[in-house]
Structure 1
């Protein structure tokens, strides 16, 4: 929804306008006054945008007003891009040194005089539009809210400890696992050497049943025998120490009053009244009195405290609270429920309990419980069958099952059940306590910079396996990643976004390979992304009948959905991508239309397409940051004019096996950071690559004729990839002094053991992947010179490898070690225990080594059992983790 992002895009634009670079450029081109006018007006408008977003459903016309703000800000970004582009043209012009080129530039539309005139006109138009919309906004009576939207969130209803255990389905084993943790002694201290207090986090996405599980544990009779005191505190969004202390004290008092009420002549009502009176008195105490009372209540007592629904990421606040309650007796326990893995890590002093979804059988039982009266389901077996299909979309999340089940309660209309079965959850009627409402809490809690990144997941189909490099490139290309200090690499920041989303339980099945990771998004999280995407982000499939005119980001999921008439004529489109392998564009005429119409595209992924050429009109895409032509089996040439795309950051022609050569003038792509090549060339132009001063990642895929690389240093390269370059003979590592990632796969003529072109030197490498070297019995000696920095090492398909080098155990930073398809490898180094940083060990298809690594019985098990994650083949071939 465009109106949902108005605040985010306005703030992003304000940051650009406030930067020193834009201020200098605006002065140089005589547009400083107008640009400052836009900044001042936008600052005023930005203050009321949050209030506008909250009131957009109540006030007529407010949605359209927000949409206009969004459109103006987007157009302003397009205009401001012109400053960067003009600066890059100047750099390329100066680097060329050609008089002919400079004369041609003088008479082009990009010469300084023509550019100044055009920019002045466009910026004045933006300012006039913004002033008009700002004036129109006064009629809505909006208030200024000076708070980051990530901190203003929908509040969850406060929880309480009571639960009807008989109505809870499928959590018996989870309850027993938590109780085991509560019963056994604290295995380690809290980080300060104190073993009195054990903190057990329960982590999972919203609606998964963390609170219900905590209730089951809290009310288990074994807890009454184990602890002297039990306390339940719903923390929710505000981690207010004062209020938490009051809730803890009140929770203690309630338990005592209720217990005494059971053994005295007082009625339950009088006990309840006494409790309320006591709460009122506590609320009147100051902080010193409250702390004194808390310590008095807890001192020397063995207690169980549940802190439910914690969102606080401020460690100082947590330490402050923990220090107050550490007056307890040894063996006291705290159970924390949270959606955030980072919060669990901060608070917990034992590994977090990651709550998983219910089984399909349990989901159906829960669904029947909420959709029918007891025994009623026996009368409607046809509806129960549909119910089985409905619970599939819930992916094991109990709140989703309950939400859909209760929406169908006592409704026996077959069409209604089929509608629920066939609809996306975000298209169904939403209630305050429904699953999307619960998940929206997590979305609201995210910072503004992360929310648009998250919504990009809606462009991909459900069950898609995401690659971190793909998502990071998309976010960077769309300008969604901002560096606060201006020096940190945007790709590094984007990878931190991935980590943050994982921490917030938005990602699942995350597999970290070091230089990149793969992951999935839970179906309900995907539904949440769709809910907020609406008209801005659209994934086209065979069911798509129309595309909103204001769409900005499009993906094409199926080949048969490429009806050209569907595509909007609006020029605001910024993204076109084909996310599914094998789905691509076959029509050159459609491509030509896109290139002519959508001149503000930032991201164009045409992978798996099938056209012979790309027309020169691609130069109209001056704003393009990302161009992917991968796996186009027909394309034979690229126009040299593609090198005029001075904003291009990523270019991939991977798998374009008919491509004769790379375009001439590659060195003009001065913004290029990632280049993936498939070409029939045997020699690449060294001078052109030397001019790519920002190039960080260079990949060669199926370059069958390429024998040698360059001879001169390329100091900007940080990652090198070689896939199936069958004639490649050597890789001179010394010309890549900043190399951090090296991936080599199936380069059959490559002499891996020699790096004779260089004297021995320390390598800065962090990630090394070697795949497909059947003739080698030993590993290359130059790996030794990366021992101080190496974090990831994969040895894959070395069937004749006899032994691992002893220097392996000197790699004190090694976190991931993958040994795959090494059939002759019999032994691990004897001092594997020295690899104290090793977290992930995978031994696959190494029969004898697998046998020796078996838990308990294997002779190497004592050396590796301390490693956090171990994955290997059992002798029978099954994988074990």
Structure 2
């Protein structure tokens, strides 16, 4: 990889070793001593890995040594996972009961003996390899470095001067910030607390936050508003002492002659912290000031409060303007909502590009190159620094072929100078903890503009062992959500839509370029231009299949991931699949979406490490081999869109690790005992199961949290009382399903957080069982219910309801009069309901007073339609 993740890989392996060493299994298989030695050696090696990663470019052979460490760690992980496989097999045997004879041969004592010998041999081999590699590392003279002291590339210090005439497209943003600076403190100055108004500007690296702050800082109107103006570049080192010194120096420079300010600057460094804080308070006391704190990375609230307490001695009206890439930091420091800086328009991007690619007026000589430039700037998505990077790379170069090359290739393929876009974005990447950097790299496996479902990327991370164990009983999916939230906070994600258990987002194109940049070497996207796959590659994403051949794929045994993320692109060669199964025994993720096999080979059971198997949208497959049920590690199985699948494999209940299951089948009756055995099942989907009449008539699925039922035309009932932990329910286009059949007295309490009902043309009223979720429901979506005439008054008892969508319900004429009781409601979207839309028009509609308190109301507006389309798109991609 361009970036090395060896430290995190070693750390993850040490966690596994710690758990296995303490288990009786390690003693039972005579490998306890070897595992202890491996653990000790790896602990020593881990201590110098960060130093090795920093010096790998300067010391010959160090990169290869790191690669050897990485390889032996992965191989050791495979061996340890073998213990887990054996443990899961024993659990299945124990739970098999009457089926013990059916699986007895597979779990025979002879196999256990073979396993014992094989594991002992493999563990000893790993120990010998690691010992040799550790000894080889001594020649590099490496030092122990902790995570907290690793070197991180720092941004250059900024200054306040700017030539405003050279800035393009930020006039409106400047006016908006100045308006905020002119407004009084929204919370006043009550109780003698002279708190300072803090205005955060937040956005992606390279978006122009510092440039905007400079424009504001140098505007003449600011001089009239504030007695003092101070510019402090904070960057990643939030050192209170140094920040105090910078503020004092800035305050002195704005009120003294330059020579006096310089002398003061030289003497102030000798003061202790007590003297410094006294001078700071003296300089600011009673003054109306503007303080710009540029480029804040500190997320330690205690440090921020300490600084804030020192500087809130100014006069009423003082303001602090903060720039940061982190939304969470902006929320921490801001006293007003963050100003989110958006990208430039295409027209402004082109103007900026021409400014950097040509000398003034020179572009008129090369209209053909300007036309190519118009195409180039689209990939920059409005980020000024990306536009400048492209323009600068072509300055004084008028070669048509070179321009076409830059247009047709990703930005990450271009040479990058220190202040270009990728180094700027990489600052944000470098600030991440190592576990998050590794997870981020896997976004490179998906195409640009790919709509990610949170559960999809979370299960990829989980299948590959990238999620760190949580504290106490924290669920692993909650850890994945924390990772997503942190990436979102760092401005790496966009179009984020949050529906609780389900969430949708995209990756900014430039952030995708960054993922490609840091992932190259071990993660590879295969397209028609790929002529060779290096043996070191472990993770493959196949987006084009035009030039497929057996020879293309590496003969190594290292591949862990094979993805087909593009709809309609799949493998149709059974021989190639046989090759993959025979060669890549340690596959964790196998995506056979859009393939055209009539069946899978029985040898699929050899992939005992497999965590995720996608057979989505195979239009020919009629059966699955029963051997697929021997994959005890399998956590994710998708059979969605397999319209010819006649039956599910026997023994499905043996997949005791299964968490997500997506089903399309011609079966009319399901084996409920099999589903009852899936004790870890959390997500379950039934789509296009045309013959299915009943679900869960006699068994509980106690762990199920998300249920999607779509286009099951004969389904008659849905007994929710068998699903005690259900939080998300999608029911779409099930014509025979009577939603009101579950009406009970008293109404059963439910834990639903999201309910989505679509296409129930005969439904005249909402079913009463929804009342059971009055204390938990957060999102309610009602779409294409053409006979729905009224919303019940009990809807206003949904005290936690945050989002309500009502789309294409033309006979719905009014809203409950007590809508004002829905104090948690933040988003209301009504579209395709002509009379109701008329009554809910702002100010003039008779129902407007019911909903005027809601923060975001979209009545037949484009924004509302887009939001509803996004939700529909979300449920359509639930297969992933």
TM-score (normalizing by structure 1): 0.95
Q: 1:181: which partner in 2? A: 180
Q: 1:368: which partner in 2? A: 354
Cα offset for 1:309? 0.6
User: Retained in 1: the 8 A contact 2:753–2:776?
Assistant: yes
Per-residue CA distance 1:136-174 (angstroms, 9 max, x = gap) = 11222222111258x642110011111110111110011
Alignment of 1:113-132 (within 5 A): 113-132=113-132
Partner-residue secondary structure (3-state), 2:736: coil
Q: 1:811: which partner in 2? A: 798
Cα distance in 1 between the residues matched to 2:801 and 2:545: 44
Q: 2:34: which partner in 1? A: 34
Cα distance in 1 between the residues matched to 2:156 and 2:190: 33
Cα distance in 2 between the residues matched to 1:874 and 1:851: 12
Q: 2:776: which partner in 1? A: 789
Q: 1:43: which partner in 2? A: 43
Compared with structure 1, are the counterparts of its residues 324 and 836 closer, same or farther at alpha carbon in structure 2 (3 Å cutoff)?
A: farther
Matched, 1:478 2:464: yes
Compared with structure 1, are the counterparts of its residues 692 and 834 closer, same or farther at alpha carbon in structure 2 (3 Å cutoff)?
A: same
Q: 1:104: which partner in 2? A: 105
Partner-residue secondary structure (3-state), 1:562: coil
TM-score (normalizing by structure 2): 0.95
Cα offset for 1:419? 2.2
Cα distance in 1 between the residues matched to 2:800 and 2:288: 41
User: Retained in 1: the 8 A contact 2:89–2:107?
Assistant: no
User: Retained in 1: the 8 A contact 2:743–2:769?
Assistant: no
Per-residue CA distance 1:17-66 (angstroms, 9 max, x = gap) = 12367544323322111111111111111111111111111222111111
Q: 2:450: which partner in 1? A: 464
Cα offset for 1:880? 9.8
For 1:424, which of 407, 410, 413 is the aligned residue?
Answer: 410
- How many equivalent pairs are there? 866
Cα distance in 1 between the residues matched to 2:151 and 2:665: 52
Matched, 1:390 2:376: yes
User: Retained in 1: the 8 A contact 2:831–2:865?
Assistant: no
Q: 2:226: which partner in 1? A: 227
Cα distance in 2 between the residues matched to 1:191 and 1:568: 69
Q: 1:171: which partner in 2? A: 170
User: Retained in 2: the 8 A contact 1:186–1:195?
Assistant: no
Cα offset for 1:196? 4.2
Cα offset for 1:245? 1.2
Q: 2:137: which partner in 1? A: 137
User: Retained in 1: the 8 A contact 2:706–2:729?
Assistant: yes
Partner-residue secondary structure (3-state), 1:96: helix
Matched, 1:688 2:674: yes
Cα distance in 1 between the residues matched to 2:322 and 2:30: 58
Compared with structure 1, are the counterparts of its residues 50 and 457 closer, same or farther at alpha carbon in structure 2 (3 Å cutoff)?
A: same
Alignment of 1:85-484 (within 5 A): 85-97=85-97, 100=101, 104-105=105-106, 107=108, 110-111=111-112, 113-148=113-148, 152-188=151-187, 196-257=195-256, 261=257, 271=258, 273-484=259-470
Cα distance in 1 between the residues matched to 2:249 and 2:65: 47
Partner-residue secondary structure (3-state), 1:753: helix
Q: 1:527: which partner in 2? A: 513
Compared with structure 1, are the counterparts of its residues 586 and 3 closer, same or farther at alpha carbon in structure 2 (3 Å cutoff)?
A: same
User: Retained in 1: the 8 A contact 2:93–2:107?
Assistant: no
Alignment of 1:701-716 (within 5 A): 701-710=687-696, 711-716=698-703
Cα distance in 2 between the residues matched to 1:622 and 1:204: 44
For 1:771, which of 750, 758, 780 is the aligned residue?
Answer: 758
Q: 1:631: which partner in 2? A: 617
Matched, 1:13 2:10: no
Cα offset for 1:626? 0.5
Compared with structure 1, are the counterparts of its residues 327 and 841 closer, same or farther at alpha carbon in structure 2 (3 Å cutoff)?
A: same
Cα distance in 1 between the residues matched to 2:225 and 2:237: 30
Bigger mean CA deviation after superposition, 416-425 or 862-871: 862-871
Cα distance in 2 between the residues matched to 1:591 and 1:543: 22
Compared with structure 1, are the counterparts of its residues 96 and 768 closer, same or farther at alpha carbon in structure 2 (3 Å cutoff)?
A: same
Cα distance in 2 between the residues matched to 1:552 and 1:599: 12
Partner-residue secondary structure (3-state), 1:560: coil
Per-residue CA distance 1:391-428 (angstroms, 9 max, x = gap) = 22222111111112112222222222222222211111
CA RMSD of aligned residues (A): 2.1
Cα offset for 1:841? 2.1
Q: 1:660: which partner in 2? A: 646
User: Retained in 2: the 8 A contact 1:175–1:213?
Assistant: yes
Cα offset for 1:712? 2.2
Cα distance in 2 between the residues matched to 1:382 and 1:135: 60
Q: 1:267: which partner in 2? A: none
User: Retained in 2: the 8 A contact 1:295–1:327?
Assistant: yes
Q: 1:822: which partner in 2? A: 809
User: Retained in 2: the 8 A contact 1:17–1:23?
Assistant: no
Compared with structure 1, are the counterparts of its residues 630 and 803 closer, same or farther at alpha carbon in structure 2 (3 Å cutoff)?
A: same
Cα offset for 1:561? 4.1
Compared with structure 1, are the counterparts of its residues 681 and 212 closer, same or farther at alpha carbon in structure 2 (3 Å cutoff)?
A: same
User: Retained in 2: the 8 A contact 1:842–1:872?
Assistant: yes
User: Retained in 2: the 8 A contact 1:514–1:767?
Assistant: yes
Structure 1's unaligned 5+ residue stretches are 262-270
Cα distance in 2 between the residues matched to 1:21 and 1:856: 69
Bigger mean CA deviation after superposition, 633-642 or 33-42: 33-42
Cα distance in 2 between the residues matched to 1:274 and 1:37: 65
Q: 2:876: which partner in 1? A: none
Cα offset for 1:833? 2.5
Compared with structure 1, are the counterparts of its residues 863 and 877 closer, same or farther at alpha carbon in structure 2 (3 Å cutoff)?
A: closer
Bigger mean CA deviation after superposition, 475-484 or 862-871: 862-871
Cα offset for 1:534? 0.6
User: Retained in 2: the 8 A contact 1:801–1:825?
Assistant: yes
Cα distance in 1 between the residues matched to 2:847 and 2:43: 64
Cα distance in 1 between the residues matched to 2:110 and 2:489: 49
Q: 1:831: which partner in 2? A: 818
Q: 1:266: which partner in 2? A: none
User: Retained in 1: the 8 A contact 2:827–2:855?
Assistant: yes
User: Retained in 1: the 8 A contact 2:470–2:476?
Assistant: no
For 1:584, which of 570, 573, 580 is the aligned residue?
Answer: 570
Per-residue CA distance 1:82-127 (angstroms, 9 max, x = gap) = 111111111111222456457525656641x322221111111111
Compared with structure 1, are the counterparts of its residues 106 and 827 closer, same or farther at alpha carbon in structure 2 (3 Å cutoff)?
A: closer
Cα offset for 1:865? 4.2
